[in-house]
Each structure stands twice: as C-alpha cells, then as structure tokens.
C-alpha cells in the first residue's frame, strides 16, 4: 500500500532529478554545510524537490530530503511557494 500522499519516490527518480536539476533556493547559513533546494524532473516529467548540501572539497553530495512538491503550496512552475 502506498502511504505517500503524492506518490512513492524511488532511487532512479532521484538520480534523474539530480541530473536534470537546477538550484532554486540557497541556504548559505545552514550547518554543518550550506545547502540548497534543487528542482529536478523524473524521466516521466514529474517534479521533485531535493534539499542537499554539496561538499565540493570532499567530492560528495549530502541528500537531506527529497519530496514531490505539493501543488497546494507551490506555484505551477514548482520554483516559488504560493503566498499564504
């Protein structure tokens, strides 16, 4: 049974979204590493948001969370939050 309200996310979708992604918000004051919000798309075109921290000096990417943006909270371009 799928308990995720916007659908289950599988690893291949995350990899697709990372490949196609663009940074839409930056969080330079996050600790222990600065992080960002990336918008990417799966092969089927579904949007994914990935909060991650690129650690360039160590050659790694820390994935903090991945979610499907909720249409009730995000504009149709998936890059801007709707006003409250």
Q: How far is the C-alpha of 16 from the C-alpha of 10, rounded, in Å?
A: 10
pTM over 0.85: yes
Check pLDDT > 80 for residue 26: yes
pLDDT in tens, 27-69: 999 999 999 999 999 999 999 999 999 999 999 999 999 999 9
Per-residue model confidence (pLDDT) at position 6: 74
One DSSP character per residue, 38-78 reads EEEE-TT--EEEEEEEEEGGGTEEEEEEEEPPPTTTB-TTS
What does the pLDDT average to over 71-83? 95
């Amino acid at each position: 049974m799928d308990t995720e309200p916007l659908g289950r996310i599988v690893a291949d979708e995350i990899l697709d979204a990372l490949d196609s992604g663009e940074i839409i918000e930056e969080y330079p004051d996050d600790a222990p590493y600065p992080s960002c919000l990336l918008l990417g798309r799966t092969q089927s075109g579904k949007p994914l948001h990935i909060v991650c921290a690129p650690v360039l000096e160590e050659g790694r990417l820390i994935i903090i969370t991945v979610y499907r943006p909720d249409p009730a909270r995000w504009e149709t371009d998936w890059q801007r939050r709707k006003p409250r």
